[in-house]
Amino acid sequence: MNLAVVILAAGEGTRMKSLLPKVLHKICGKPIISYVLKTVRELNPTKTIVVVGHQSDMVTKSLGEKVEVVVQENQLGTGHAVLAAEQSLNEHEGDILVLSGDSPLIRTRTLLKLIKLRGETGAAAVLTAKLKNPDGYGRIIRRGEEIIGIVEEKDATPDEIKIDEVNSGTYCFAGGELFGSLREATNDNEQGEYYLTDVIGILRSKGKKIVGILAEDESEILGINSRKQQAEADKIMRGRITDRLMDGGVTFIDPGLVFIEPDVVVGKDTIVYPLTFLEGETLIGEGCEIGPSAKLVDTTVGKNVKIQNSIIRESVIEDEANLGPFCSLRKGTRIGRGVKIGTFVEVKKSEIGANAKVPHLSYMGDAVVGENVNIGAGSITCNYDGVKKHKTVIEDDVFIGSDTMLVAPLRIHKGAMTGAGSTIAHDVPAGSLAIERSKQETIENYVKKKLKRSDESKDN
Ligand code: UD1
Ligand code: CA
On whether residue 444 sits in a domain, the answer given is: no
Options 360, 390, 413, 426, the catalytic residue: 360
Query: Residue 49 and residue 179: Cα distance in Å, rounded?
Result: 15
CA separation for the pair 15, 294 (Å, rounded): 34
Sign of CA dihedral 194, 197, 202, 208: positive
Q: Counting atoms of ligand 1 from 1, which one is nearest the CA of 101? A: 30
C-alpha 113 to ligand 1 mean position (Å): 22
Q: Is residue 323 part of a domain?
A: yes
- pLDDT tens digit at each of 460 positions of the chain: 799 999 999 998 999 999 999 999 999 999 999 999 999 999 999 999 999 999 999 999 999 888 999 999 999 999 999 999 999 999 999 999 999 999 999 999 999 999 999 999 989 999 999 999 999 999 999 999 999 999 999 999 999 999 999 999 999 999 999 999 999 999 999 999 999 999 999 999 999 999 999 998 899 999 999 999 999 999 999 999 999 999 999 999 999 999 999 999 999 999 999 999 999 999 999 999 999 999 999 999 999 999 999 999 999 999 999 999 999 999 999 999 999 999 999 999 999 999 999 999 999 999 999 999 999 999 999 999 999 999 999 999 999 999 999 999 999 999 999 999 999 999 999 999 999 988 999 999 999 988 888 888 877 6
Question: So what's the pLDDT on residue 122?
Answer: 87
CA distance 368 to 349: 9
Boundary residue ending a domain (171, 186, 221): 221
102 and 209 co-located in one domain: yes
Q: How far apart are CA 171 and CA 135, in angstroms?
A: 20
Domains identified in the chain, total number: 2
Q: Which ligand sits closest to the CA of 126?
A: 1
Could you tell me if residue 439 is inside a domain? Answer: no
For 316-350, b/e burial (b = at least 16 CB within 10 A) is bbbbbbbbbebbbbbeebbbbbbbbbbbbbbbbbb
Contact 97, 171 (CB under 8 A): yes
Same domain flag for 109 and 143: yes
Residue 367, H or E segment: strand 367-369
CATH number, domain with residue 427? 2.160.10.10
> pLDDT at position 65, please?
82
Nearest C-alpha neighbor of 437 from the set 406, 412, 404: 404
Residue 271 and residue 291: Cα distance in Å, rounded? 9
Question: Which residue is closest in CA terms to ligand 1's atom 34?
Answer: 11
Q: Pick the atom of ligand 1 nearest to 11's CA.
A: 26
- Cβ atoms of 319 and 300 closer than 8 Å: no
- Give residue 2's Cα distance to chain centre: 33
Contact 284, 267 (CB under 8 A): yes
Looking at the CA of 137, which ligand is closest?
1
The interaxial angle of helices 227-247 and 32-41, nearest 10 deg, is 50
Q: Which residues lie with the beta carbon below 6 Å from any ligand 1 atom?
A: 8-11, 51, 53, 72, 75-78, 80-81, 100-103, 137-138, 150, 152, 166-169, 195-197, 223, 225
Nearest ligand 1 atom to alpha carbon 79: 15
Which domain, by its residues, includes 158? 3-221
* Catalytic residue list contains 413: no
Q: Provide the pLDDT for residue 456.
A: 85
216 and 284 in one domain?
A: no
Res 454: pLDDT: 86
Measured distance CA(231)–CA(227) in Å, rounded: 6
Is the same domain home to 109 and 166?
A: yes
**Ligand index nearest the alpha carbon of residue 170:** 1
Show the CA angle centred on residue 223, arms to residues 222 and 229, nearest 5°: 80
Which residue among 49, 78, 99, 155 is best mutated to probe the pocket of ligand 1, counting the most ligand atoms within 8 A of its Cβ?
78
Can you say whether residue 197 is alpha, beta or left, with left for phi > 0 and alpha for psi between -120 and 50 degrees? alpha
Do 165 and 203 reside in the same domain of the chain?
Answer: yes
Strands 289-290, 271-272: pairing is parallel
DSSP string across 408-454 = SSEEE-TT-EE-TT-EE-S-B-TT-EE---PPPP--TTHHHHHHHHH
User: How many degrees, rounded to 5, is the angle at CA 14 between CA 11 and CA 18?
Assistant: 105
Query: Is 440 among the domain residues?
Result: no
> Cα(227) to centroid of ligand 2, in Å?
12
103 C-alpha vs ligand 1 centroid, how far in Å?
Answer: 10
For position 353, what pLDDT does the model report? 98
20 in the same domain as 75: yes
